[in-house]
Each structure stands twice: as structure tokens, then as C-alpha cells.
Amino acid sequence: MDLRHLRYFVAVAEERHFGRAAERLHMAQPPLSQQIRQLEAELGVELLRRTTRRVDLTEAGRAYLARARAILADVDEAGHHARRVAAGTVGHLAIGCVGSATYSLLPALSRRLSEALPGVDFSFRGEMLAPDQVEALRTGAIDVALLRPPSTDPSLTVHALRRDRLVVAVPVDHPLARRKRLRVADLAGTDLIVHSADRRSVMYDVVMALLRGAGVEPHVRHEVGETSTLVTLVAGGLGVAVVPEPVTALALDGVAYLPLTGSDARVDLAVAHRADRAEPHLERTVGIIRAAF
């Protein structure tokens, strides 16, 4: 038995006539009758009662028709689903985002992805530091990462998206808040709030290199893991922080954002995934993210 037998049987059962069923199937009537008899012989039951004018279903035939229709519908749906998978329009993906991307990019990006790939189930993890994202990519906890390079892991494919300017988040009552813009040297002697060194934050290394490159000895008062916590501490007057410009989307009372001058006052943003991952829906998602920048 194969699917052809089921399709033949359903056609005859619905038409109640071998001639009309044969026309519907674009075949001759004798081979159709032969195929139905082979099906009945294999099942060991009579499915149809034949008369000179019409064909009727037996009780077994009615039961078999319901199951045959369900099987054919499942097979058709399986084919449609396979084609959707091949086209990258269905699946599930978890996307991890650095703190600044969480606030500035994630709302618009989630809408764009949902509109472009409505059959893909997206989930998002925000406030992830780059080392945590790399580990999550390795283990499969996330599938795509919006992270801050550098990432030297050879198991990852990394595409640069853009370079973000750095700004300084300062308490509104801080003396520096009266400036229109700041130089790195203006941060000398100022209490700093930075991303955690213990958690190997890329931004920690960027800020330390920026300060020391300008001859400023960092005076770190607090180290935190989340960007939202960092900005909250700034709002509380506990220090200032150097952050990527997209963090300005996190508007809190008590915080002012000032431009930081200098050609090297920028940080990269990239999209990454495991190099051995090539599922169509993942590749389409990465393509949509790259096209958005």
C-alpha cells in the first residue's frame, strides 16, 4: 500500500462513481478499479459495494475514509511544513542582547522580525554581557547574539553592524552636567561606575583603555553587571559612567547624557551565531538584523 492507493480510494468514495473518479484523477477507469481491489485485498475487507449505477461505502469503508482523509491531510501538512522550514519561515530562535541593545534596538527589532517572519517563535534575553552571550551561543541557550566585540572564538561567525559613539551619563546635579560635551581628561578624579571586570565586560576594557590612553587614572566606585543598574546608580548621584550612546534610550530622572569627544570614543556592535548553524530561519533572521543597520 502507498499514498496513491489512499488518494484513489478517497476519490472513488467521494465521487461514488469509478468513471467520475477516474476523470478526477486523470487516469483510465480499469487501472483505478484494479488498484481499489488490490487495496481491499491487502486490508482483507470490502470497502465499497459496486452496482451498475453507483458505488456505496460499506461500514468499514466509511471508517476507512475518515482515517484516509486524515492521513492525507497530515501528509500534505508535513510537506507544507517542510517547505516552510526550508524557506526559513518557521522555527524558534532565542536572541541575546547587550544592555544598550536591549533598550534602544530590541523594541523595533522584535517588531521587524515578527512582521518579516511571523511563523518563527522569537524569544529574547536582555542585559547580557558579551562573555555570557558567547557561552550561551556555545551551549545553545541562545541562537543569535547582539554583542560588543571583540570575540575571538573560532566557533562563532561574527558580523559587524555599526560603531556606537560613547557618551557620559552624569547625575543632573553633578558639576560636569553643566558642560555641553566632555573630554576624557575631564573625568580625572571623578567617581566612576563601570561594568563588572569580574564578569569580563567588554565595556570595562573599553572604558579603562580610553581613560588610560588619555592619562586619566580611573577612580572606580562601583562595578555592576547590568546597564540598567549602572544608570540607576548614576541617577542616585553615586558617580558618572561612560556608556554607548544607545543607552540614552533608558531615560531616568536625575541623569544627563553628554557627548564624549575624541575619534576613538566609539564601541562596536555585532551580530553573532555559531559557525556550524546554518538553519534557514536563523540565516534569514541574521540577514534581517544586518539589513536593519
pLDDT tens digit string along 68-109?
999 999 988 888 778 877 777 768 999 999 988 887 888 889
Distance of CA 45 to the CA centre of its chain: 51
Residues of the chain with CATH 3.40.190.10: 92-160+269-291, 162-267
The CATH code for residues 162-267 is 3.40.190.10
The CATH code for residues 3-87 is 1.10.10.10
Torsion of CA 93, 94, 100, 102, to 10 degrees: 90
Confidence band of 263 (pLDDT split at 50, 70, 90):
low
pLDDT of 160: 94
- Residue 113 to residues 105, 118, 121, 269, 279, Cα–Cα distance (Å): 12, 8, 10, 19, 16
In this prediction, residues 249-263 reach a mean pLDDT of 89
Residues of the chain with CATH 1.10.10.10: 3-87
CATH code 1.10.150.120 for 92-160+269-291: no
Q: Are the C-beta atoms of residues 146 and 271 closer than 8 Å to each other?
A: yes
